[in-house]
Amino acid sequence: MAQVLDGIRVRDEIQKEVRPRVEQLAAQGSAPGLAVILVGNNPASEIYVRNKVRACQALGIYSEKHTPPAHVTTGELLELIESLNRRPEIDGVLVQLPLPSQVDSKKVLLAVDPDKDVDGLHPMNLGKLVSGRAGPRPCTPAGILELLKRYRIPIVGQRAVVVGRSELVGKPVAFLLLAEHATVTICHSRTANLPEVCREAGILVAAMGRAALLTGDFIKPGATVIDVGTNRITSREEAAAIFRNSPEKLAEFDRKGSLLVGDVHPIDVAEKAGAYTPVPGGVGPLTIAMLMVNTVEAAERRAGTCSG
């Protein structure tokens, strides 16, 4: 039977390790501080930000939320970011995506001080990732590596296939796997013979954003499958097809009105993989855990106690 890689357990381990570091910084008068910018009223973004603020509270990290209106201009956001960049007690500045269409997202993200870029997405920090230099790593890819290492999944010499080429997940996780001496292939929607390429993977990372796209035909028997996707299914017929008319899943759908499904077919992966991350409860919890790690490391750099 396939091993389930429990992201909640690993998240709890990481937070337990981070808490004494926060307490030490607070005792020195350098408590970590995180500022989150949430524009408008995107329900999904509001949930993400609420979870980030709760994680800060649980660990003793100071946090504040800035909520500009949906009609905010690029210039107004740049002024807000610049003011946060200047504040010494704020170690991390996080701009919750997506931003409204009238805002120049690239210009806004570029305005965040690289030293306060706890998302690890500033071009300077992505350059550090590519060149193997120390710096904040994008949270979801960093969480994936933590999961693999803590479950002792072999990486060295493994063939890894990443399906998805975004700056947020696909490209960074490919470089992190490469740094751990995996042989990495990045695939995307135009990759020829995608199932055949995926079946070569000892480690398969799915980050396409399409529900249950990767079926059993994409999975090498015994492979480790990391499912980054979080897709909300609102059609009962689609839920029935994906979960093969499972009474339990259909009852859950009827109760909630929707189901969360990853990019990998949930039944096929359990039947064919050697180990896999569930959705929900796999990669998702680790993203916020690594955000906390990046914020604490930024505070340690400010306090002069960071070794990295």
Q: Which of 91, 115, 117, 119 is catalytic?
A: 119
Beta-carbon contacts of residue 282 (< 8 Å; ≥ 6 apart): 5, 6, 7, 147, 226, 227, 262, 276
Looking at residue 88, what DSSP letter applies?
A: T
- The CA distance from 276 to 279, in Å, is 10
- The CA distance from 119 to 168, in Å, is 9
Select from 219, 212, 214, 164 the least CA-distant residue to 187.
164
Residue 263 known to be catalytic: no
The DSSP string of 239-268 is HHHHTTT-HHHHHHHHHHS-EEE-SB-HHH
H or E stretch at 143: helix 139-150
Give, in order, the Cα–Cα distances in Å from 235 to each of 5, 256, 258: 28, 12, 7
What is the chain's alpha carbon radius of gyration, rounded to the nearest angstrom? 20
Q: Which of 91, 96, 263, 272 is catalytic?
A: 96
Let me know the angle formed at the C-alpha of 111 by 107 and 114, rounded to the nearest 5 degrees: 130
Q: Which two tokens stand for residue 296?
A: 């604490």
Residue 24 known to be catalytic: no
Residue 119 known to be catalytic: yes
Q: Which of 15, 52, 158, 268 is catalytic?
A: 52
- The CA distance from 202 to 273, in Å, is 10
Amino acid found at 79: E
H or E stretch at 184: strand 183-187
Let me know the angle formed at the C-alpha of 125 by 81 and 168, rounded to the nearest 5 degrees: 85
Q: Which residues are catalytic?
A: 52, 96, 119
